[in-house]
């Protein structure tokens, strides 16, 4: 007959054996999951670093938003606006408002830089197109991230550079109907009345 102390020590060991096996299986599974995620994160960081270093890497439209943003920055450094707009649309479909706003901000900055270059080259018609596109992208950035101060500031700069005037529909030659409610002026001068 076994002493009472020995019996008590054997009971938990008998029950501990299946629990230990389950805990070991869970730990092995968790290790595999974490190893896979670490491998994916390492590959993502490597691809982002390659894009920043100037290496052209093809990115699928359903890739991680961080990789899409890095690809977009790569394209904008090379003035590939159309390809960058496709990626901006893909970023807009993600649930990452911060990265989608950042992408629109980068696109707006690149277009505004192009607008400045065209202004310096005295190509005001094409400059207006790029400035208006930049304003549109800054607006989209602010819709996704209303507190994005840099986008607000750049939107203000672009708005001062190219004002939004109302669209007047010309129907009869040189005549333009005057509707006092829709006309506003941006002419400098002292306003009448009290401050």
Strand partners, 166: none
The predicted-structure confidence for 14-34, as pLDDT tens digits, reads as follows: 566 777 778 888 888 888 888
- Give me the residue spans of the domains in the chain: 29-169
Q: In which band, very low, low, confident or very high, does the pLDDT at 40 lie, cut at 50, 70 and 90?
A: confident
Compute the distance between CA of residue 71 and CA of residue 118 in angstroms, rounded to an integer.
25
Give residue 172's pLDDT. Answer: 45
Confidence of residue 38 (pLDDT cuts 50, 70, 90): confident
Output the pTM of the full model.
Answer: 0.66
* pLDDT one-digit tens code per residue, 83-128: 999 999 999 999 999 999 999 999 999 999 999 999 889 888 888 8
Architecture of the structural domain at 29-169:
Alpha Horseshoe (1.25)
Q: Which DSSP symbol is given to 58?
A: -
Cβ 86 vs Cβ 61: under 8 Å: yes
b/e sequence 124-143, b meaning 16+ C-beta within 10 Å:
eeebeebbbbbbbbbebbbe
Using CB atoms within 10 Å of the CB of residue 71, give its burial: 0 to 12 exposed, 13 to 18 middle, 19+ buried. buried
d(CA 147, CA 98): 10
> Facing residues of 175 across strands?
172
Dist. CA 106–CA 91, nearest whole Å: 12
CA distances for 134 relative to 5, 78, 158, 167, angstroms: 81, 17, 7, 19
Beta strands in the chain (DSSP E): none
């Amino acid at each position: 007959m076994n002493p009472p102390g020995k019996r008590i020590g054997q009971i938990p060991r008998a029950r501990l054996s299946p629990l230990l096996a389950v805990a070991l299986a869970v730990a092995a599974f968790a290790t595999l999951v974490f190893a896979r995620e670490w491998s994916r994160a390492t590959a993502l960081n490597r691809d982002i670093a390659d894009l920043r270093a100037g290496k052209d890497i093809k990115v699928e439209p359903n890739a991680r938003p961080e990789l899409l943003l890095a690809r977009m920055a790569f394209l904008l450094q090379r003035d590939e606006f159309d390809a960058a707009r496709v990626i901006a649309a893909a970023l807009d479909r993600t649930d990452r408002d911060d990265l989608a706003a950042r992408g629109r901000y980068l696109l707006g900055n690149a277009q505004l830089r192009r607008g400045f270059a065209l202004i310096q080259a005295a190509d005001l018609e094409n400059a207006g197109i790029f400035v208006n596109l930049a304003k549109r992208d800054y607006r989209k950035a602010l819709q996704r991230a209303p507190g994005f101060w840099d986008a607000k500031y750049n939107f203000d700069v672009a708005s001062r550079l190219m004002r939004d005037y109302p669209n007047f529909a010309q129907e009869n030659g040189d005549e333009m109907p005057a509707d006092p409610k829709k006309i506003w002026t941006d002419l400098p001068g002292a306003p009448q009345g009290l401050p």
